[in-house]
């Protein structure tokens, strides 16, 4: 599909949208939102630092997952928009074709 | 930590080989849990963090491949395609930076586990040695807080001496462990994680980190082993009352570490496992010469003879002109670039192939 300064392979767009969706879910499941469990390392100072670090890792990984999921949704939306446009254009084309088609001559009644 | 200070004692310092940035280091063997904390679980956390790195890379690789198939000439083009591609590139960079930060956190925690395991292991060895000489040791490795009156027999005198030694050793070990924990906490807190709260620009922050990734992740020369070795040596110095030990510990969490270590290298106090720390300046010189000549001996000679960099040579190196191997010592990893992961910019050099070749020729 192309036109107006763009081109797009609809199947690629659909495939990429699916991939972003599935990979974002993989990312989301990779690191718990609060980070992995932190063991007792022997002092409150280091335990606190480890907690803080892993919770940031968890939060950033979730944020990254959401960003990738957003890409997937936008790609799917782009696919739908292009597809809708294609359908609309096809419909318009059909309507125009129909409208512009030569009207068959109405048979005159015999004897009139 | 070594037991060199033990009465009549002595033993080899423990060391771990550098093993790369994404594999957890081997712990020193230990049987109890006298210094506190769950050391093996700490090591397991490092392994967990290391494990995230390839998983995140796998995700970005899969998406990279998809984007390559999607966008480009004869594929998806136009304003929307360009906007998507740019946005994805930024997120992929952010993922890269996040992986690097996770790896750094893993290295710090890995190094902490290694250092704690060494202290625990050596404390247990020290306790066994003291006990074998008659010193009373309580459960959890604590020395009896008594003052044994030296008896008239040789055995009672020996027990009194060893108890006193172990009391000091035990206190130092607990203190060392706490200092190492504090240092590791400082390093973790110093990692440049961006916030993820409402309104925070975490993606831009990560992209900025990714653009300077070398200064964040360092050179991956096995920082865990490096810190483990260095803290162990520093612990020994601390126990011996040498202020340089504290200085080394402090330096681990600051920038310009190598330069300052070079300055330390001029002190008689920095005795590392029977070897002398070579200053960073001399090392840089050595690698530079080696790069040109591929001759380790010539590089070493040039390094120890270099007086242009005042802080770059050790007193031992200057005096003896010894080969570089003898002044750096087997703790070659302590000058590895992995610590660069903690100290930031300026140590990218240590990632160079020439440095690795030099180290390989010397220590291999």
pLDDT tens digits along B299-319: 433 343 332 222 222 222 222
Reply yes or no on whether the pLDDT at A30 is more than 70: yes
Q: Count Cβ atoms within 10 A of the Cβ of residue B270 and give its class: 0-12 exposed, 13-18 middle, 19 or more buried.
A: buried
Reply yes or no on whether the pLDDT at B214 is more than 50: no
Those of residues 53-92 in A touching chain B at CB distance below 8 A are 53-54, 56-57, 59-64, 67-68, 71, 74-75, 78
Reply yes or no on whether the pLDDT at B361 is more than 80: no
Average pLDDT for chain A:
84
Q: B193 to chain A: which residues are within 8 Å by CB? A: 53, 56-57, 60
Element of type H or E holding B43:
helix B39-70
Which of A38-47, B154-163, B170-179 shows the lowest mean pLDDT across its residues? B154-163
CA dist., res. B6 & res. B2, Å (int): 9
Question: How large is the ipTM?
Answer: 0.79
Minimum-distance CB partner of B52 among A13, A30, A41: A30
pLDDT at res. A8: 63
Percent of chain B scored above 70 by pLDDT? 49
Q: Testing the interface with A: which of B36, B37, B54, B59 to mutate, by most A Cβ within 10 A?
A: B59
pLDDT at res. B211: 66
Of residues B83 and A57, more confidence is placed in A57
CA dist., res. B6 & res. B227, Å (int): 24
| Cβ pair A42:B181 closer than 8 A | yes
Task: Calculate helix-pair angle for B243-251, B223-239, nearest 10 degrees.
Answer: 160
Q: Do B68 and B111 meet the contact criterion of CB atoms below 8 Å apart?
A: no
Reply yes or no on whether the pLDDT at A60 is more than 70: yes
Q: How many residues does chain B have?
A: 364
The distance of A63 to chain B (nearest Cα, Å) reads 7
pLDDT tens string A71-107: 999 888 888 887 776 676 666 666 767 776 777 777 7
Q: Search chain B and give the residue with CA nearest A28.
A: B56
Instruction: Concatenate the DSSP letters of all residues of B212-237 into one string.
Output: THHHHHTT-S-HHHHHHHHHHHHHHH
| Cβ pair B185:A46 closer than 8 A | yes
Q: Count Cβ atoms within 10 A of the Cβ of residue B275 and give its class: 0-12 exposed, 13-18 middle, 19 or more buried.
A: buried
Reply yes or no on whether the pLDDT at B51 is more than 90: yes
| Cβ pair B67:A16 closer than 8 A | yes
Of residues B2 and A16, more confidence is placed in A16
Of residues B147 and B89, more confidence is placed in B89
pLDDT at res. B126: 94
Instruction: Concatenate the DSSP letters of all residues of B160-210 into one string.
Output: HHHHHHHHHHHHHHHHHHHHHHHHHHHHHHHS-PPP-STT--HHHHHHHHH
Q: Is B128 on the interface with A (CB under 8 A)?
A: no
Model confidence at B54, pLDDT cuts 50, 70, 90, reads: very high
pLDDT at res. B304: 36
Minimum-distance CB partner of A42 among B37, B67, B105: B37
Q: B81 to chain A: which residues are within 8 Å by CB? A: 6, 8
Of residues B307 and B362, more confidence is placed in B362
Of residues B260 and B127, more confidence is placed in B127
Q: Is A49 on the interface with B (CB under 8 A)?
A: yes
pLDDT at res. A59: 93
Q: Which of A88-102, B151-165, B192-206, B224-238 has the highest mean pLDDT?
A: B151-165
> How many other C-beta atoms can be found within 10 angstroms of the C-beta atom of residue B258?
23
Minimum-distance CB partner of B181 among A41, A54, A56: A41
């Amino acid at each position: 599909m192309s036109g107006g300064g763009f081109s797009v392979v609809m199947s690629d767009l659909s495939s990429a949208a699916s991939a972003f969706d599935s990979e974002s879910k993989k990312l989301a499941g990779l690191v718990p939102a609060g980070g992995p469990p932190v063991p007792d390392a022997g002092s409150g100072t280091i335990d606190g630092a480890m907690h803080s670090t892993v919770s940031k890792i968890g939060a950033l990984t979730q944020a990254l997952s959401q960003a990738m999921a957003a890409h997937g949704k936008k790609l799917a939306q782009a696919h739908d928009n292009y597809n809708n446009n294609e359908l609309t254009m096809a419909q318009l084309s059909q309507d125009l074709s129909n409208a512009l088609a030569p009207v068959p001559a109405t048979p005159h009644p015999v004897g009139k | 930590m070594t037991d060199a200070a033990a009465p009549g004692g002595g033993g080899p310092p423990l060391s771990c080989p550098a093993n790369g940035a994404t594999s957890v280091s081997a712990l020193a063997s230990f049987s109890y849990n006298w210094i506190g904390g769950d050391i093996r679980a700490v090591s397991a956390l490092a392994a967990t963090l290391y494990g995230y790195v390839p998983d995140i890379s796998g995700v970005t690789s899969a998406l990279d491949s998809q984007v390559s198939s999607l966008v480009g000439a004869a594929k998806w083009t136009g304003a929307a395609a360009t906007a998507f591609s740019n946005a994805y590139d930024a997120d992929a960079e952010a993922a890269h930076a996040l992986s690097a930060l996770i790896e750094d956190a893993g290295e710090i925690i890995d190094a902490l586990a290694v250092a704690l395991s060494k202290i625990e292991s050596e404390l247990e060895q020290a306790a066994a040695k003291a006990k074998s000489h008659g010193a009373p040791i309580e459960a959890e490795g604590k020395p009896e807080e008594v003052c044994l009156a030296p008896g008239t027999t040789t055995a009672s005198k020996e027990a009194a001496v060893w108890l006193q030694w172990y009391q000091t050793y035990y206190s130092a070990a607990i203190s060392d462990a706490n200092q190492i924990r504090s240092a590791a906490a400082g390093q973790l807190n110093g990692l440049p994680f961006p916030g993820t709260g409402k309104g925070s620009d975490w993606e831009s922050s990560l992209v900025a980190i990714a653009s300077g990734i070398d200064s964040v992740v360092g050179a991956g020369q096995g920082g865990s082993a490096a810190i483990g070795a260095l803290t162990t040596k520093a612990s020994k110095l601390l126990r011996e009352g040498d202020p340089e030990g504290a200085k080394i510990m402090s330096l681990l969490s600051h920038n310009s570490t190598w330069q300052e270590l070079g300055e330390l290298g001029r002190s008689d106090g920095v005795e590392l496992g029977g070897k002398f720390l070579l200053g960073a300046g001399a090392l840089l010189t050595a690698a530079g010469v080696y790069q040109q000549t591929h001759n380790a001996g010539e590089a070493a000679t040039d390094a120890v003879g270099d007086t242009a960099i005042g802080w770059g040579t050790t007193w031992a190196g200057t005096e003896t002109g010894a080969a570089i191997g003898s002044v750096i010592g087997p703790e070659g990893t302590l000058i590895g670039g992995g610590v660069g992961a903690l100290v930031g910019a300026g140590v990218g050099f240590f990632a160079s192939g020439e440095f690795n070749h030099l180290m390989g020729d010397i220590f291999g």
